[in-house]
Chain A
């Protein structure tokens, strides 16, 4: 401890280095970065730039692109399917992000103080849907939602909740809710693991000191643990928001955006426009709008998170 404090307080004089040495080290550093940088530029930046550029063109298969300026963007906001997809996407985000965070925090708080084997067991159980392939997860859920012999209808009728079978994925009243439920089960795994880790790292001496001073469990959590895990919460919020905005596989595998576009999301509509209708420019314009929305929301989340800190 003494050594640690000394290291923090005593200013260590670093030997002066020649500019040639600094330059050599800088070059070496960039060389180390280069492989990753090449992939980042090639597979992230270049497609992003291409996406933005293409969004200003009427682009389709095997035909020269035609510059249309902002026409794709204008069309977006008069396209009822896009507006519907935007609305559905926001519903998914608004429901799934807070529920995922709150549920994950609740589960983590409940399991963090259990014996280590029990904590690990629960972490595994909740993480299982994350590591299971989305196709496998979807197939199981599709069977459970089945209109004719699904387990939800079977149980619903058995306990008297419903009189006749409900076409969960084929009825626009229920379809989006069903998608959100599946999304929740596949989204909580990572936040639970992160929260368990974050809660385990909270300084117990401060918590104990607060309890000695008369703080109850809620006060100890709200005044001490919550601020301590705020960086983790911020990370979870951003990641969950992005994942919710990018909800695609579930839609493609379960509903194809139906019934009657009630489960269309922007990501699915981008795919549909580009791959089924061959309207690459229009699809890219949607991609740009989605990226802008995600960027703004992430910035707001960071801002609010930093204010809280």
Chain B
């Protein structure tokens, strides 16, 4: 008897296969885990020889100088693998627009990276405070504590003394002026080119000279979002000696008389726009293309940028001169950037150990740390690294700003809320709200968040 497959049987078989396929797809993770385990079994033997357990770890990094460029990072990983061949490091690059969302989504989805490179405001004050980071106390040996600057060390730990960041590099955020235009309007007399400092009155006189010299848009208090907000905080805090938080980092103090006076002065100054349509990155673009004559969002990475012209020049070839923020006292306090590594506690001790091995090599190994810092284009956090920029005129000149580093207040509880409240406050001032009312609202909301997190 001839047996044939009926149409109905065929369709049923296809349906069953489709269902099975869907179920298999849903259960894919366990399959791939098994494969991964099998494949990692082979290098385990060689791992013992090199003194490290075999592991695959994921590193996510924000664009911290050259640490945002794949070719640079791969070179560093190659150096690491020359010493630790059994630890495989895969890298993903984040940006400051969407990076936080990506990390938060990954944390909630149970797929956070093993390692992340950023600063204390995220590693300590945000994810560390939320308990998703692994403490790095064992990496902070007595020798490390002696070698790393004290102000950096204090920013890398929480109030309980647990370290959630192991730092690699640092810089001071400053501002910049278009020196060609400043000279053109005869305002260079207001600038101390040796110390890169100026008084608040001299700053305002320079703005006025540029404005009257035909430059309608001298500078912008950018506030479309939190990108580059350290610049707007610094200009406001420095002008008349205000502070952003108290010294103990427990509450926000932006409603002080000094800050109110600074915001009001900036708001009233001709040539300075409270611009809710741009952020820090866009301000830099406007400065580079000659639309603005000053930038409040600047650091050495910007000074070294050669995307559109040689380092230190605008797109049209004008000289860019980095400046400390103006002060009435002559003692600028610049916001610092401290960048290093944190480890997410994903519940896998082997990966945590592998990640610590990576950190120890990149940020503490005397033979490697200099190259790691150079890759960042910032400055070392360890005294022992010495002057890695000897002979580099731009870096040597910029190193003067490191003397002006102020308090690292970004670890104050409620920081994420404070950041968003800050640019919202500037927007309200820009749209005409009374400055005192606006900063009071900022402090009320930010301090409520700080109290909730403390």
Contact = CB atoms under 8 A, between A and B. Distances in A.
A95 interface: no
Given A61-B107, A170-B224, A275-B101, A147 B131 contact: no
Given A61-B108, A255-B224, A170 B23 contact: no
Given A61-B104, A61-B130, A34 B431 contact: no
A35 B11 contact: no
Nearest to A142: B277
A132 interface: no
A28 interface: yes
B131 to A, nearest CB: 5
16 contacts: A27-B12, A35-B19, A35-B21, A38-B26, A63-B131, A148-B291, A167-B273, A169-B224, A255-B224, A256-B224, A258-B225, A258-B423, A259-B430, A259-B431, A260-B433, A276-B416
Given A61-B130, A170-B430, A31 B416 contact: no
Nearest to A28: B12
B365 to A, nearest CB: 32
Contacts of A277: 416-417, 420
B15 interface: yes
Contact of A261 (B8, B16, B424): B424
A149 B289 CA distance: 11
Contacts of A134: none
B224 A34 contact: no
Contacts of B434: none
Contacts of A171: 276, 431
B223 interface: yes
A46 interface: no
Q: What 4 pairs between A and B have smallest CB-CB spacing?
A: A170-B277, A259-B276, A31-B15, A35-B22
Given A61-B107, A256-B224, A275-B100, A145 B277 contact: yes
Given A147-B275, A169-B276, A169-B277, A34 B22 contact: yes
Given A259-B276, A276-B420, A172 B18 contact: no
B420 A42 contact: no
B22 A38 contact: yes
Nearest to B16: A31
A147 B277 contact: yes
B286 interface: yes
A149 B315 CA distance: 16
B437 to A, nearest CB: 13
Given A28-B8, A60-B130, 5 more contacts: A256-B224, A258-B223, A260-B431, A276-B420, A278-B130
User: Which of B100, B217, B430: most chain A Cβ within 10 A?
Assistant: B430
B395 interface: no
Interface string A86-108: 00000000000000000000000
B276 A258 contact: yes
Interface in A141-174: 145-149, 167-172
A32 interface: yes
A62 B129 CA distance: 10
Q: Could you tell me the dominant secondary structure of chain B's interface residues?
A: helix
Nearest to A168: B277
A275 B276 contact: no
A38 B430 contact: no
Given A62-B130, A261-B424, A25 B8 contact: yes
B431 A148 contact: no
Interface residues of B, number: 41
User: Which of A38, A145, A260, A261: most chain B Cβ within 10 A?
Assistant: A260
Contacts of B371: none
A168 B276 CA distance: 10
A39 interface: yes
B225 A256 contact: yes
Q: Could you tell me the dominant secondary structure of chain A's interface residues?
A: loop
User: Which of B21, B273, B277: most chain A Cβ within 10 A?
Assistant: B277
Interface string B263-288: 00000000001011110000000100
A167 B291 CA distance: 14
A170 B276 contact: yes
A24 interface: yes
Contacts of B286: 148
Interface string A9-30: 0000000000000001101100
A28 B15 contact: yes
A35 B291 CA distance: 56
A2 B131 CA distance: 77
B309 to A, nearest CB: 19
B209 interface: no
A255 B282 CA distance: 13
A259 B105 CA distance: 27
A31 B19 contact: yes
Nearest to A263: B276
B416 A278 contact: yes
B428 interface: yes
B21 A167 contact: no
Contacts of A146: 277
A61 B129 CA distance: 10
B131 A32 contact: no
A168 B277 CA distance: 8
B445 to A, nearest CB: 10
A148 B19 contact: no
B199 interface: no
A294 to B, nearest CB: 24
